[in-house]
Amino acid sequence: MKTGVCSKCGAREVRAGQGFWAKDAANFIAISPMTAWRGGKVAAVDHYVCAACGDVETYVSDASNLEYIAANWPRVE
Ligand SMILES: [Zn+2]
């Protein structure tokens, strides 16, 4: 999806963009046990949407949050 080609249907109809309102509108996931207002940690995420088939992919925006997740979340085996 990040290349502009949908990973599900192959269409070049992927939409996303910096400065676009949807990127700044409360797109976060919790990455530690407590909620953000009680001392927890959240990570902003970017969404990529295919306008042809509706597939959505979500990526953590900040590399420092990826480091936290790698150090604290269990690996999928
Ligand atoms: Zn698609």
Q: What are the residue boundaries of the structural domains of the chain, listed by start?
A: 14-72
Predicted TM-score (pTM) of the model is 0.76
What letter represents residue 16's amino acid? Answer: A
pLDDT top residue among 27 and 1: 1
Asked if residue 22 has pLDDT above 70, the reply is no
- Report CA(27)–ligand 1 centroid distance (Å): 21
- Report CA(46)–ligand 1 centroid distance (Å): 17
- Report CA(64)–ligand 1 centroid distance (Å): 30
- Report CA(68)–ligand 1 centroid distance (Å): 31
How many CB atoms are closer than 10 A to CB 60? 17
pLDDT tens digits for range 35-72: 666 778 888 888 899 999 999 999 998 899 999 999 99
- Cα separation, 75 vs 8, in Å, equals 25
